[in-house]
Amino acid sequence: DEGTIMIKLGQEEPIVSMDSSGKVVWAKNHEIQLTKILKGKTYTTVSDGEQLQLSSDDLGSCEFYPSYLKHNKNGQLIAVCGDGEYTIYTALRLKHKSFGEGSDFAWSTISNGSSIYATKQSSSKIKIYKNFKEFKTIRTSYTIQKIFGGYLLGVKSGDDIYFYSWDTGICIRRIEVVPNNVYWSSEGTTVAIVCNDNFYVLRYNEDIVDKYITNNISIEEHGIETAFDLEQDINEVVTSGCYSGEVFVYTNSSQRLNYYIGGQVITLVHLDRVFYVLGYIQKANRVYLIDKRYCIVSYELLRYVLAYQAAIVRDDLRTANMLIEKKKIDNKHFNKLAQFLEGQGHKELALKVSNDPEHQFELALSLKKLNLAKQILLKSPSAQKWKQLADLALAECDFITVEEAAKNANDLSLLYLLYTST
């Protein structure tokens, strides 16, 4: 017996990309296919977790075996990379726009970045292209392992990630983490850096960076110290994700579909198998996922709920209140919003929004609103809660409420203490 050798071919995660209008392009071996999620009106009646019945059109074939496929910022182009080559096509007709050598590829997402991209030429050389013409060359003193697209060009080494400006090729910041993936918000204000065991959410300070570049201020080797602020470090293994506005939607290794906003992680659903995030479409109010067999499912995620939460994070209470007053959000979502508000420290607002008596009671106690807590208990009495109210009233020296609450809780020891002390 000379032993057995096992060779793994391909990858679990499908090679696929979706643009903001719901057009999905994927690679199956050498074939490139297109399907449209929002075709017709069926997307408005689909249930959560239901597999979408979609037909796909053959766009053509690729000369090499693709390992990467991604739309550009405006969705009009797709880049396919593999076997040390890349080709850029039009997204709907698969017409050649450009091609060349490159073992990795990354699109820019800056405001004018629809035709700006980078390719990894060697272990120490990256080329940046603008309108399909070579624009900048970055040579590194470290070994390049991978490059990431986004608002800044991310370059991964064995020990760090470096972020470079697309316009100048200057190193903006070196961060001592080794990421598997990097996800930028569309406005370039936040970035999620995904590592093996956790992910970091950083806020990008573009104004500070612009001052350094505009005024020709000397930038140290590790970049600008204040270019990023750490917003949160979350111990979750992210398997796929995308940004919608300031909301980071992702799947994790526990097969949960979550989203992160304002320091809080909210679980949307527990998945029954491994899925990967395709993207979020506001028009449909749904987040779309795909599995390794190219089956697509979706789950509801209301844009007005996200808009409300984003407004709260920005301390834009006027916009948040307007969404409630204009009834943009159904009452059935109020309890989740109340829990979010409590997590953000807005307990008074959470009390107004919540329609769950138990949560209302907890909020009233934490705000020391004894009369309101009592009114809630009169509608849905509970001996245990009467006892909680009696204890708080005693601490607040409200002896009338102590007596009433203790009687309703049948707390004889507290009544004995009250009567022998007053």
Q: Give the pLDDT confidence of 5-19 residue by residue, as tens digits.
A: 777 666 788 999 999
Q: To which H or E segment does residue 241 belong?
A: strand 238-244
Q: Give the pLDDT confidence of 166-199 residue by residue, as tens digits.
A: 999 999 999 999 999 999 999 999 999 999 999 9
Per-residue pLDDT at 1 exceeds 60: no
| Model pLDDT, residue 416 | 82
Q: How confident is the model at residue 421 (pLDDT cuts 50, 70, 90)?
A: confident
- 370-375 average pLDDT score: 92
Q: Give the pLDDT confidence of 373-382 residue by residue, as tens digits.
A: 999 998 888 8
**Is residue 160 a contact partner of residue 173, using CB atoms and an 8 Å limit?**
no
Per-residue pLDDT at 41 exceeds 90: no
| Model pLDDT, residue 40 | 66
Q: Give the pLDDT confidence of 65-122 residue by residue, as tens digits.
A: 999 999 999 999 999 999 999 999 999 999 999 999 999 999 999 988 789 999 999 9
What is the rounded CA–CA span in Å between residue 389 and residue 365? Answer: 7
- 267-286 average pLDDT score: 94
Q: How confident is the model at residue 267 (pLDDT cuts 50, 70, 90)?
A: very high
- 24-42 average pLDDT score: 88
Q: How confident is the model at residue 264 (pLDDT cuts 50, 70, 90)?
A: very high
Residues 6+ apart with CB under 8 A from 346: 312
What is the Cα gyration radius of the chain? 27
Closest to 113 in 3D by CA, of 74, 148, 168, 140: 74
Kindly write down the DSSP assignment for every residue of 25-60, as one continuous string.
Answer: EEEETTEEEEEETTSSSGGGTPPTTPPP----EEEE
